[in-house]
Structure 1
């Protein structure tokens, strides 16, 4: 195999081979789902080929949007990266990610997230750990069951209620950072597959106030009713404290047949304020990583806190996405920001991994400096770059 593989978009005829490569890497079921071997809108699939034309690696660019303080930011979220065992350690994944970033930049993406099976190769390509998707188990019996006020109506939902459900998800998530908008061709494609015989959840519980949806829980029942039975809540959102209390009360009613409630809490939301999370046990943790695709777009297309105001200059290094490399001036004011190139020397020298940590609100400039991801000239104060971290912490709730 040559030092540099040939990386290009996969054709429809090559998707079965890509599935087989991923099946061996991840231990998937022998039979592929339909979407794995057919083109899907909003998804670019890349393959790496050796000198003989054999597929030795693959990666997927998911054309998601992420919410950043009220504004959707186009993303290139990465999934399905796999390399044939005989080709590992030869730079195949690096070339795949280089091509993916370039293609994503050309189509207008600004940021990128991924869930790594191993972090080191992605760190070498500019992604950095910025959060953890936590799935926890709660004993159903410890959930509070407050008296209902009578002001809210609780009922089961069906396919006709899904548009209102999607709207409520957006109400809860749009003012936060990092969460997927769940809009766009990829999500539209999968939503079109839902039918009464194949809904997105086993059950959908709705809470309404004066006919308006104010909370919902989408849950899967699982098997059995013994001590090992689990009710898995895939989606749980509310826009008011009363709606959250109603939902928690409904979930508590499962205690006799599902002793365990499994869910993914969103820190600081209306449900987290009602759940006894001190009783939770960790079921699973999935680390996620972030990086900019285009730093100017990443800064300019997101929203910023209205109180944040200031400017700072820094030099950025980005080996895989050289359009990001250079010296920049960041200016933030009135809920917006921009990056402009400058020709003067900057006292702050930031790595792309350091940029990811600050942008996602996962670290302070001082801690990024301590990690060796920000270098300062003598006498320079790294805390000036806390301006880049002004948006607060990012979260992800969707595994991809």
Structure 2
């Protein structure tokens, strides 16, 4: 194929070709879901075309928001990146990601996350591995036995309960980092059918108020290989978490294995025998800033954090981020402003991603070759960028 490709947003006329390209890349079933060949609000599809007009690559910008310490930050989360086999290794993905990042910046996005099938091409474009979405198997019979509490009510949920479920999800996640807000027109589009998100929804209430929930899929059979998949189990009190885990444990006789994605340090995880859990699946996710100044000012910061540090940032893929900056943090907010001259700390954009997401400390980033400093200068000054703690995702996209 020619060395050049032409990248533009896909139109409705391109969606059949985009589906076929993705189907072959990811081994999807031949039957195509309706939303793959229809215009969907809240996402932008990009395509790369060769000189003959053939679609040779595609990528999707998901217009999510992510929670960062209590504030919603506009994100350009990337999904569905696929390149035709004949066009691989020729810069097609790079051209699409360049267009996607520029478009995302123009619409106001600050950060970006993605799940890679292979990390190297995304590292070359400034993303860096920042965390893992873990799915584990737990023996259902090993869940702690629990006497139902007389102060809590447990019942099956209905679609009418979904707004309360969304509110509880937000109570658990909004003060964490990296979690999707699950707000906006993209989520509204997929929730428009009004159905439950799985086979069942279990609710725990105290005085009529929702304090815990689990969404689950029953699976097939009731023998030794039967699995109860818990898509999500969250609670806002320890008592509610114990009640939920007690309900899940009641499946032991017909579903010997419980499969779920634990949320680090939350109320439900503290009730689970995770010491005996076995990893079922792990999905690496990567992060990068779309616009570093926006990424810093839009997020929340710990109220106790205070300080300032100058550094030079290199971002060869998104040159608007490059330059010498001063980070100033105080009173639960921060600002990134351009300053003149050089800086003793020189940070690669992948190092910025690691620090921002709380995935590494500055000395480790320096050891990885993503932060350079003058002799006698302590790189730990840049730990200020990561004071918000580690980021985590619960959604796969």
The TM tier, using the shorter chain, reads: over 0.9
SS of corresponding position for 2:269: coil
* Matched positions, count: 397
The answer on 1:254 being equivalent to 2:268 is no
Deviation at 1:194, TM superposition (A): 2.9
Alpha-carbon contact 1:4-1:95 (below 8 Å) kept: no
The Cα RMSD (Å) is 0.7
Alignment of 1:159-170 (within 5 A): 159-170=159-170
SS of corresponding position for 1:73: strand
Alignment of 1:282-361 (within 5 A): 282-361=279-358
**C-alpha deviations, 1:33-65, integer Å up to 9, x for none?**
000000100000000001111100000000000
**C-alpha deviations, 1:137-165, integer Å up to 9, x for none?**
00000001222331100000000000000
Deviation at 1:379, TM superposition (A): 1.8
The residue that corresponds to 1:122 in the other structure is: 122
Deviation at 1:266, TM superposition (A): 0.1
The residue that corresponds to 1:21 in the other structure is: 21
The answer on 1:370 being equivalent to 2:338 is no
Q: Which runs of 5+ in 1 are unaligned?
A: none
Alignment of 1:35-184 (within 5 A): 35-184=35-184
**C-alpha deviations, 1:312-342, integer Å up to 9, x for none?**
0001111111110110000001111010000
Deviation at 1:178, TM superposition (A): 0.3
**C-alpha deviations, 1:339-380, integer Å up to 9, x for none?**
000012111010000000000000000000000000111221
Take 2:115 and 2:338, find their aligned partners in 1: how far apart are those partners? Answer: 31
- Tell me which of 214, 218, 221 is aligned to 2:215: 218
Deviation at 1:76, TM superposition (A): 0.1
Take 2:365 and 2:4, find their aligned partners in 1: how far apart are those partners? Answer: 33
Deviation at 1:242, TM superposition (A): 0.2
The residue that corresponds to 1:202 in the other structure is: 199
SS of corresponding position for 2:25: helix
Deviation at 1:252, TM superposition (A): 0.4
**C-alpha deviations, 1:85-136, integer Å up to 9, x for none?**
0000000000000000000000000000000000000000000000000000
**C-alpha deviations, 1:233-290, integer Å up to 9, x for none?**
0011000000000000000000000000000000000011111100100000000000
The answer on 1:244 being equivalent to 2:241 is yes
Take 1:338 and 1:14, find their aligned partners in 2: how far apart are those partners? Answer: 41
Using the size of structure 2 for normalisation, the TM-score is 0.99
The answer on 1:280 being equivalent to 2:295 is no
Alpha-carbon contact 1:233-1:262 (below 8 Å) kept: yes
Deviation at 1:201, TM superposition (A): 1.3
The residue that corresponds to 1:34 in the other structure is: 34
Using the size of structure 1 for normalisation, the TM-score is 0.98
Alpha-carbon contact 2:149-2:243 (below 8 Å) kept: no
Take 2:49 and 2:360, find their aligned partners in 1: how far apart are those partners? Answer: 38
Deviation at 1:300, TM superposition (A): 0.3
Moved over 3 A (4+): none
Take 2:173 and 2:316, find their aligned partners in 1: how far apart are those partners? Answer: 33
Alpha-carbon contact 1:230-1:262 (below 8 Å) kept: yes
Deviation at 1:193, TM superposition (A): 2.0
Alignment of 1:389-400 (within 5 A): 389-400=386-397
Take 1:362 and 1:274, find their aligned partners in 2: how far apart are those partners? Answer: 26
